[in-house]
Amino acid sequence: MTEKKPDTPKKRSLFLRTLDRVEVIGNALPHPATIFAMLAALVVLISWLTSTLGVSAIHPGTGEAISVRNLLSGEGVRWMFESLEKNFVRFPPLGLVLVLMIGIGVAEGSGLLSALIRFLVLRSPKRLITGALVLAGVISHIASEAGYVILIPLGAAIFHALGRHPMAGLAAAFAGVSGGFGANFMITAIDPVLAGLSESAAQILDETVRISPAANLYFMFASAIMIVIAGTWVTERFVEPRLGVYTGNKEAEKLEELKGEERRGLLFAALSVLVILVLFFLATAPEGGLLRHPGEGILRSAFFNGLITAITLFFLVPGLAYGITVGTIRNDKHVIKQMVSSMSHMATYIVLVFFAAQFVYFFSHSNLGLIVAINGAEFLRTIGLTGVLLMVGFVIFSSFVNMFMGSASAKWAILAPVFVPMFMLLGYHPALTQAVFRIGDSITNVVTPMMSYFALIVTFAEKYDEKYGIGTIISTMLPYTLIFGLMWTIMLVTWILLGIPVGPDGPLHYVPPVTP
């Protein structure tokens, strides 16, 4: 009888071994807070060197000469000394996250989120969970940036409850929220901002050009479908198999059937949400509504400007309704205790944000990011690409710039005055140029530490294993960047070749008006 040979472990592919190496190197680095502090110090040194060398650029919109601000000069040192606190306090994710945690703390402490997770997991088809998470991430853009705070940790918790690796759930939600930032099924808060910048840039050449916030709607809608399909495939084909079995110490939510009082609690919570929706509708939809500014449209109403307040209430009020029903909230002290408990978990994040804010604002104040963007745009203009290759080059360039500047509107304010008129002269409409920019601006969101919420994502990951760090996040999310970039670029090229408009009043080609 022939002795059976033991099974040999399957050799991992070069791609997976590369991701493993990225993770090892990344996690071998110091604590993320220390890394951001070191990066801030590096920006200071680079600002001194480039200022000494006389590095500069001409702003395409104003014609103003932009030079590097030397942060080691007397003026620079005084600015850093005076701005340390301001940088921390005005860092956009800080206030948003802490305000949301007021409402989330009550929803979590009352038991609402636990019951909701169990309800969703027990009632939903297991094979659709991954796609549903990516889809929810794409749709979450309607609620501004709240998806980062709410959906990403929820995705990790749902996967963990199902016995799947929580980092895979975090990655799927993160891919939809951030990697699919340029995709959606409807108009979001960023569309009017980008359209306004595109219109201003287009009017450098043609004062008659008007860009609607819906100019990219067709392309965004199709992109959203692609992101959901590609994000689901990447999660289940690459990310989850690579992560393997979760071996951390964090306990998963027990999937017990809801008890009678829990079902009643969910019912009252749902009714409270319905009441809030009706009240917000009555205060926002009518022209004279309480949350409408006189003479302004719905998108510029107080409701949309203060959407974080609304979302906080969408957690706080149902949390109260659920807690009172099931008995987890009996007085005001219980409510305050739940809020304080949720804040206590944010200590690591707050420290991370302090150093991340210094890095981001040092980089911004030094003008290094601005000069990189302007000189890069000038290089792309001079290399002579045309047609589809030019658009592909612009996707790559936008994704590169995104590694240095986090804000989409800030990047487009710089790039639009260069590329919108340039592409108009080549016969391409500003709506197409804007759509191409949004592709590049989205695909590297999940791997750049310059993304405002990157520190928060690291904090979420550390809850499942304190060893998880920047390397874990980048190595886990890199497949999404590569596949989204490839699929979105193929879709763009096909779209252009077929001659499909990117949206209402969003043609592909620009035809100059005939002058009498």
Rg (alpha carbons) of the chain, rounded to whole number: 24
pLDDT of residue 146: 66
> How many helices (H) and strands (E) in the chain?
22, 2
- Find the domain containing 360 and state its range: 31-498
Query: Burial of 242 by CB count in 10 Å (0-12 exposed, 13-18 middle, 19+ buried)?
Result: buried
Average pLDDT over residues 351-365: 83
Per residue in 82-92, pLDDT (tens digit) is: 999 998 988 76
Q: 5 pLDDT exceeds 60?
A: no
Task: Report pLDDT for 165.
Answer: 93
**pLDDT of 439 higher than 90:** yes
* C-alpha distance from residue 56 to each of 46, 53, 69 (Å): 13, 9, 10
Tokens linked to 446 = 């999940």
In the three-class reduction of DSSP (H, G, I as helix; E, B as strand; rest coil), residue 195 is classed as: helix
User: Which pLDDT tens digit goes with each residue over 372-400?
Assistant: 767 766 776 677 666 788 889 899 988 98
Whether 106 maps to a domain, the answer reads yes
Q: What pTM, to 2 d.p., does this model score?
A: 0.70
pLDDT of residue 347: 82
Residues facing 65 on adjacent strands: 58
Cα–Cα dist 163/184, whole Å: 30
Position 515 confidence tier, pLDDT thresholds 50, 70, 90: very low
Number of structural domains, the chain?
1
User: Is residue 11, in this structure, part of any structural domain at all?
Assistant: no
CB 171 within 8 A of CB 133: no
Residues of the chain with pLDDT > 90: what percent?
Answer: 31
Question: With 80 as the cut, is the pLDDT of residue 78 above it?
Answer: yes
Where would I find the H helices in 55-189? Answer: 74-90, 92-109, 112-123, 129-139, 146-161, 166-174
Q: In the prediction, which pLDDT does 478 show?
A: 92
**Residues contacting residue 62 through CB under 8 Å, at least 6 positions apart:** none
How does residue 76 score in pLDDT terms, banded at 50, 70 and 90? very high
Mean pLDDT for all residues in the chain = 83
3-state helix, strand, coil in the chain (%, to 5): 70, 0, 30
- Condensed to tens digits (0 to 9), the pLDDT of residues 90-132 reads 876 688 778 888 888 898 888 887 787 677 766 778 888 899 8
In a domain, 198, yes or no: yes
pLDDT at 316: 92
Quick check: is 199 in a domain?
Answer: yes
DSSP conformation letters of 244-257: -S---SPPPPP-PP
Nearest to 162 by CA among 46, 230, 74, 245: 245
507 in a domain, yes or no?
no
Let me know if residue 25 belongs to a domain.
no
In this structure, is residue 482 part of a structural domain? Answer: yes
The answer as to whether 21 is a domain residue is no
Per-residue model confidence (pLDDT) at position 7: 46
